[in-house]
Amino acid sequence: MQRLLCMRLLAKKKPSTNLPCYTSKANPIHPQNAMVSHFSTTNSGFNFYGLLANQFSRKSSALFKAPAEGLVHFKRVFSRSYFLQKKSGLNVSSFKWIQRLDSDHVVVGLIAANVVVFLLWRSADPRFMANNFMISLDNFKSGRVHTMITSAFSHMDAGHIISNMIGLYFFGNSIGSAFGPEFLLKLYLAGALAGSVFYLVYHAFLIPSKSNQVSGRSPSSIPGLGASGAVNAIMLLDIFLNPKKTIFFEMIIPVPAILVGIFLIGKDMLRIIEGILKWARETIFNITLYVCKLRIHRVDG
């Protein structure tokens, strides 16, 4: 009887579910009206990170209707190399040491690296800097592939580096606090690579040869540098995840973040379209000129 009573008592006990307690680092509070290149950010209330601030809640975002599990999966896919680990059976993550750092440390480290390269432009050999910290078709064809990354840490103009680093500080802290320092660094490098690839493709195919003849320079020798591609990647992701966040354009005009994102993407797309149209016009002109010369040659013959 006593044994039966004990079994009943055990049956009445509900299993305790020890759910993990997710704690998030407090979002840094940035001063309002702070200049971020031509933009500054401010938050209405305390919901600065929009979707990411409640990524473990059951409610979906009113804008994207995305469940919390989707954001967790999004973070997991981009912050860890699951596919490579399954292929090799080894832990291939080379950013383990970053996990011991704070996202603020990664942001400060990226800014410090840019400042160091900026100072090197004023002390090191200019030819060495041009060969190793500027992206160009000539450098790429010469085997200096590392310039696709190093050019994203290189600035020669003070205004250029100041605007990029302010943008990196504010938007980088936002992304780093949400996804972690490893994801932030990978996103910076991915943006740098994407910007370098676009630059190489643009100068290889889209620049009209007529303007190059006027300037006296070949497209393959025109160099480029700057962290704009990497910073834009971080900024656009933050805008996509927080479209309702207010950004002060030119430090005065409050604009929804989604409009700033559309403006940045539209500006790049317009630049591509203009380059394609110029290239197409010149190609048609050259073909027409060649046909006319061919006909004149036949008539004379």
Is the CB of residue 99 less than 8 Å from the CB of residue 180? yes
Q: How many CB atoms lie within 10 A of CB 149?
A: 16
Nearest Cα neighbor of 246 from 55, 25, 59, 30 is 30
Instruction: Report H helices in 80-204.
Output: 82-88, 103-120, 126-132, 137-141, 147-150, 158-179, 181-201
Read off the DSSP letter of residue 255: E
pLDDT tens across 116-152, in order?
Answer: 999 999 999 999 999 999 999 999 999 999 999 999 9
pLDDT tens across 4-52, in order?
Answer: 444 444 444 444 444 344 333 333 333 333 333 444 444 433 333 333 3
Range of the domain at 132: 31-300
In-domain check, residue 7: no
Is the CB of residue 257 less than 8 Å from the CB of residue 243? yes
The 10 Å CB-count burial string (b at 16+, else e) for 267-279 is eeeeeeeebeeee
In-domain check, residue 23: no
Which distant-in-sequence residues (6+ apart) come within 8 Å of 179 by Cβ? Answer: 52, 75, 78, 79
Question: Is the per-residue pLDDT at 205 higher than 80?
Answer: no
pTM above 0.75, yes or no: no
In-domain check, residue 1: no
Which distant-in-sequence residues (6+ apart) come within 8 Å of 78 by Cβ? Answer: 179, 183, 186, 187
In-domain check, residue 103: yes
Q: Tell me, what's the pLDDT at 295?
A: 77
Q: Tell me, what's the pLDDT at 95?
A: 54
Q: Tell me, what's the pLDDT at 154?
A: 93
pLDDT tens across 105-119, in order?
Answer: 999 999 999 999 999
Read off the DSSP letter of residue 98: G
- Residue found under tokens 């320079």: 217
More confident residue, 59 or 249: 249
**Token reading at 250:** 């030119």
Q: How many domains is the chain partitioned into structurally? A: 1
Question: Is the per-residue pLDDT at 77 higher than 50?
Answer: no
Q: Tell me, what's the pLDDT at 279?
A: 67
Identify the H or E element spanning 246. strand 246-249
The Cα–Cα gap between 131 and 226 comes to 15
In-domain check, residue 208: yes
In DSSP terms, 248 is beta-bridged to 40, 254
Question: Is the per-residue pLDDT at 56 higher than 80?
Answer: no
**Token reading at 286:** 């050259």
Which of helix, strand or coil describes residue 198? helix
The Cα–Cα gap between 126 and 291 comes to 46
In-domain check, residue 24: no
In-domain check, residue 6: no
Q: Residue 57: pLDDT band by 50, 70, 90 thresholds?
A: very low
